[in-house]
Amino acid sequence: MAYEKPLPRVTADTKPFWEGSKEHQLRFQKCRSCGHVRWPASVICPKCYSDQPDWIVSSGKGKVYSFVVHHRTFDKAFEQELPYVAALVELEEGPIFLSSIVDLRPEEVKINMPVEVTWKDITQEFSIPKFKPLS
């Protein structure tokens, strides 16, 4: 069945991120000048304005920074999953990344809960990172 949920919108900034995801690597930009690891991806480092980033591969481990339990949705493709959890995950390397929490009931999700990335291959072109409780 065709994948009906929104697909990532790949930009020049996020292309390396989604290419990494395809290989099940969670990649972030790390500033070559000051070492700041950033998300969202951007042309310059917001700390020092250097335009020289390296793309590093995150451990994929982090903790729940905050979360929302969705009891309704604006996109019918998500309806069968209601209620579902969207969460901000603070990765070990520093970035805070919006994703989904899976393998847990919504009432079991807590702030600061340790989580790790798990990959979902959604189309030929895209794999998306979701997060599950740290094993």
Nearer to another protein, 61 or 130 (CB): 130
Q: Within 10 A of 34 (CB to CB), how many other CB atoms are there? A: 11
**Residue with tokens 């009906």, as numbered in its chain:** 4
Phi, psi at residue 38, to the nearest 5°? Answer: -125, 150
CB-CB contact of 93 with 105 (8 Å): no
- At its nearest, how many Å lie between another protein and the CB of residue 33? 19
- Residue 21 Cβ vs another protein, minimum distance, rounded to whole Å: 11
CB of 43 to another protein, least distance (A): 15
Give 55 or 65: the residue with its C-beta nearer to another protein.
65
| Nearest CB to another protein, comparing residues 29 and 100 | 100
What is the nearest approach in angstroms of another protein to the Cβ of residue 51? 18
Q: How far is CA 37 from CA 42, 78, 94, 112, 128, in A?
A: 11, 31, 6, 20, 20
Binding site for another protein (CB under 8 A): 5-9, 14, 39-40, 46, 65-75, 78, 81, 83-84, 86, 88, 96-100, 106, 111-112, 128, 130
41: number of Cβ within 10 Å: 19
